[in-house]
Amino acid sequence: MSEFCSVSQQDGIAIITINRPEVMNSLHPPANFELEAAVNAFEANASARVAIFTGAGEKAFSAGNDLKYTAAGHKIEVPESGFGGLTKNFGRKKPVIAAVNGVALGGGFEIALACDLIIASENAVFGLPEPKVGLAALAGGLNRLPRQIGLKQALGMILTGRHVSAVEGKELGFVNEVVAAGGALESAIEWAKIIAANSPQSIRTSLDVVKRSLDVASLEEGINAHYDSVDDLRKGPDAVEGPLAFAEKRRPNWSA
């Protein structure tokens, strides 16, 4: 049983909720390790095609590292898969959506950046304020944000530690959709349903090629690289079932 997060599933969508609303869903080591277990269980569950990360309550997605817990003398421990079980989880194959329902600061923003999509309520607030407390965003924020919005805009956020609204986040390019307050999870579920209706193997292949292509500077090298996931897709049943279902004007029966 998990104490600091909850997991539910509906229609092939796993919803992972950080459950520490009394501290703005900030994370301490026990919560981090519970979230890692939840992410691993999602990856291993053949019936779950998309995951949604969100925070309990209406105020916070996650305020990041629990600084009060750390200041009390507790040891800082993070699982090998990183903050929230996501920021260093480079072997993840299934899509994850962040439903940001409030504050997403520091490590909370880094978790959101590690997700594949970000759906934000209009009251969401993003930022990497670590320099204000003598720290740095070393759970991927310093690496992911410049890749997602460009160097100058990223440094403008990183060096000042300023907060960014959901609307500005969409303008900068790291937010996919802004919805009314309280509606982030509902909208994320709708996005997840659309993704889950597609071929799971096609989705896994697409994620693999996009992420691995970003590891190389050359477009030509990225396109011409060999991807095992592409081989598996071409030899797999979905590549047969998809065109057949289209020709027969029916919904495809995808493999797991």
For the stretch 168-222, pLDDT in tens is 999 999 999 999 999 999 999 999 999 999 999 999 999 999 999 999 999 999 9
- CA dist list (Å): 175 to 109, 116, 234: 11, 10, 32
| Mean pLDDT value of segment 239-255 | 96
Residue 253, C-beta contacts closer than 8 angstroms, at least 6 positions apart: 241, 245
pLDDT category, 138, cuts 50, 70, 90?
A: very high
200-213 helix and 238-247 helix, angle to the nearest 10 degrees: 120
Q: Is residue 255 over pLDDT 80?
A: yes
| Class of 5-196 in CATH | alpha beta
Kindly report the average pLDDT of the chain as a whole number: 96
Predicted local distance difference test score (pLDDT) of residue 73: 87
Predicted local distance difference test score (pLDDT) of residue 210: 97
Asked if 86 contacts 92 with a C-beta cutoff of 8 angstroms, the reply is: yes
What's the pTM value of the predicted model, to 2 decimals?
0.96
What are 52-69's pLDDT values in tens digits? 999 999 999 999 999 899
| Catalytic center residues | 110, 130
Predicted local distance difference test score (pLDDT) of residue 1: 63
Predicted local distance difference test score (pLDDT) of residue 63: 97
Predicted local distance difference test score (pLDDT) of residue 256: 74
Burial (CB < 10 A; 0-12, 13-18, 19+), residue 180, is: exposed
| Mean pLDDT value of segment 161-165 | 97
Q: Is residue 75 over pLDDT 90?
A: no
